[in-house]
């Protein structure tokens, strides 16, 4: 009898495996990847705690249904009847961030296909040396600076709370903007298409602030927050140590020099290869971004050199 049960179970399993086609495998892999993205999105965020609460609520529902606790089961059914609306309300920040990242990915793919404007490339060719030279000079004098380089995600909300300039970037202009006690020094400069678009802009706070090294000052935190909310590349100069740092995709890497900063900006902002069938340049920042991702992560920031920069 026992062996017959095992034989029937094995036969049922084989029938299921034999009925699986290529489409089913693709379906399972896509579903697995979606679940992985959801778990990655809610990990170490407020949504993670909310998800645990939802799982616990579902577990209590099944237990109460099995045991026969009618009152508790009735209450849980009423609570779960508005489940979709509740999930949208509770997870609104996380859902917004997921849609923004999906939009960033779509935009990067479209740029990879159609290439980058030659005028924009030429403007970045002129702007990058000015940015790097300015960062080096500000670093030498320990003058705090925060430069946001807009990429796929438009930063109109941050631009509106600053002072619009639309000026060609020069070392002298950066020096005047970030010179202490000037009207525009307290805030960030936002660059768009190789032009200083606005100054004295305020940036959003980081979403995982509790995981950031407590020795990092307000500029570094603002840089991390901006890079979490967009695909912008943010350059920070510490007014305490003069150290040059770069935040990208929620990760901050430090100890840049004029040369290494220029290499990063060129590999990220200027097309590296030509599309032979269109004879247009295409942007390939993926390898460099992966390299930066290996250098540091939000959880590893406590291992970085200390920087007690203030506001």
3-state secondary structure the chain: CHHHHHHHHHHHHHHHHHHCCHHHHHHHHHHHHHHHHHHHHHCCCHHHHHHHHHHHHHHHHHHHHHHCCHHHHHHHHHHHCCHHHHHHHHCHHHHHHHHHHHHHHHHHHHHHHHCCCHHHHHHHHHHHHHHHHHHHHHHHCCCCEEEEECCCCCCHHHHHCCEEEEECCCHHHHHHHHCCCCCCCCCEEEEECCEEEEEEECCCCCCCHHHCCCCCCHHHHHHHHHHHHCCCEEEEECCCCCCEEEEECCEEEEEECHHHHHHHHHHHHCCCEEECCCCEEECCCHHHHHHHHHHCCHHHHHHCCCCCCCC
- pLDDT tens-digit readout, 104-154: 554 554 454 344 567 888 899 999 999 999 999 999 999 999 999 998 778
- pLDDT tens-digit readout, 287-302: 444 444 444 444 334 3
Chain mean pLDDT for the chain:
76
- pLDDT tens-digit readout, 40-80: 666 545 556 666 777 787 888 888 888 888 888 788 777 77
Structure-model confidence comparison of residues 24 and 95, the more confident one:
24
Share of the chain above pLDDT 90, in %: 25
- pLDDT of residue 100 exceeding 70, the answer is no
- What pLDDT is attached to residue 224? 87
CB atoms within 10 A of CB 293: 14
User: In the chain, what are the domain boundaries?
Assistant: 2-111, 116-303
Confidence of residue 168 (pLDDT cuts 50, 70, 90): very high
Distance CA 127, CA 201 (A): 20
- pLDDT tens-digit readout, 176-216: 999 988 888 888 999 998 999 999 998 888 876 655 666 77
Q: Would you state the structure tokens that stand for residue 3, as one six-digit string? A: 């062996």
**Domain topology for 116-303:** YojJ-like (1 (3.40.1700)
CA distances to 116, 266, 269, 284, 289 from 272, in Å = 11, 8, 9, 7, 14
Confidence of residue 264 (pLDDT cuts 50, 70, 90): very high
- pLDDT of residue 235 exceeding 90, the answer is yes
Distance CA 85, CA 22 (A): 35
- pLDDT of residue 247 exceeding 60, the answer is yes
Distance CA 171, CA 79 (A): 60
- What pLDDT is attached to residue 243? 92
- pLDDT tens-digit readout, 67-77: 888 888 788 77
Structure-model confidence comparison of residues 210 and 244, the more confident one:
244
Confidence of residue 83 (pLDDT cuts 50, 70, 90): low
- What pLDDT is attached to residue 211? 58
Structure-model confidence comparison of residues 222 and 86, the more confident one:
222
- What pLDDT is attached to residue 158? 87
**273-275 and 251-256 beta bridge pairing:** unpaired
């Amino acid at each position: 009898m026992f062996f017959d049960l095992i034989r029937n179970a094995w036969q049922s399993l084989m029938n299921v495996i034999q009925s699986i086609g290529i489409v089913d495998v693709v379906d399972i892999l896509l579903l697995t990847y979606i679940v992985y993205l959801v778990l990655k999105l809610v990990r170490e965020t407020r949504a993670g705690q909310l998800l645990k609460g939802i799982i616990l609520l579902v577990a209590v529902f099944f237990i109460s249904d099995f045991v026969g606790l009618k009152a508790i089961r009735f209450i849980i059914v009423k609570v779960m009847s508005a489940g979709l609306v509740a999930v949208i309300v509770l997870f609104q920040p996380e859902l917004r961030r997921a849609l923004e990242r999906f939009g960033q990915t779509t935009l990067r793919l479209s740029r990879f296909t159609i290439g980058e404007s030659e005028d924009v490339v030429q403007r970045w060719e002129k702007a990058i040396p000015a940015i790097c030279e300015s960062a080096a000079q500000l670093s030498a004098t320990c003058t705090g600076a925060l430069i946001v380089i807009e990429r796929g995600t438009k930063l109109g909300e941050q631009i509106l709370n600053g002072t619009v300039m639309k000026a060609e970037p020069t070392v002298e202009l950066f020096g005047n903007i970030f010179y202490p006690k000037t009207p525009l020094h307290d805030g960030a400069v936002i660059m768009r298409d190789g032009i200083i678009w606005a100054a004295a802009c305020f940036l959003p706070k980081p979403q995982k602030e509790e995981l950031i090294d407590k020795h990092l000052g307000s500029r570094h935190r603002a840089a991390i927050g901006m890079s979490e909310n967009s695909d912008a590349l943010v350059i920070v100069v510490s007014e305490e140590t003069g150290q040059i740092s770069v935040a990208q995709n929620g990760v901050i890497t430090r100890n840049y020099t004029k040369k290494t900063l220029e290499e990063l900006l060129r590999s990220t902002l200027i097309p590296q290869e030509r599309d032979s069938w269109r004879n247009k340049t295409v942007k390939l920042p993926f390898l460099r971004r992966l390299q930066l991702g290996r250098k540091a992560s939000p959880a590893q920031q406590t291992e970085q050199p200390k920087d007690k920069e203030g506001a």
